[in-house]
Amino acid sequence: MTNFVVLMSKGPFHGEAEWPFRFVDLALDNGHKVQVFLVEDATWIAKKGQQYDVYPNLEEYIKNAVKKGAEIKVCETCRKRRNLSEKDYLPGLVKGTMTEFIEAAAKADKVLTF
């Protein structure tokens, strides 16, 4: 089993934001541990109730990942800079810090950035 840490920094409407979550889904299905850190504009990905007319529904990807055991952390500093409230986020997500990311990355087998 591999311990993956996924760092996402791009927003929900920047390119194909679902790809990291497709990776997360497949990794979890294959018994790997996955931690996801949402930083910078990726904090918007975790906001509940967004409308995705053209893109796949990222909310469903996130709910599925949490249900399967992924730990998804939202950078607290990044959230505050974007004037987002903790109430804006989907259930199951937790606050994250850069220190937590560094600690997780140091213990991870692989760190992926998107």
Segment 49-70, tens digit of pLDDT: 877 665 567 888 899 999 999 9
Tens-digit pLDDT string for the chain (114 aa): 999 999 999 988 776 778 899 999 999 999 999 999 999 999 998 888 877 665 567 888 899 999 999 999 999 999 999 999 888 898 899 999 999 999 999 999 999 999
- Write down the residue that tokens 């850190």 correspond to: 37
| CB-CB contact of 28 with 2 (8 Å) | no
In which element (H, E) is residue 47 found? none
- Write down the residue that tokens 């906001």 correspond to: 47
- φ/ψ bin of 31: left (φ > 0), alpha (ψ from -120 to 50), beta (otherwise): left
Q: Smallest Cα–Cα separation from 94: which of 71, 111, 78, 77?
A: 71
Residue 62: φ, ψ to 5°: -65, -45
Q: What is the model's pTM?
A: 0.91
Classify domain 3-107 by CATH architecture: 3-Layer(aba) Sandwich (3.40)
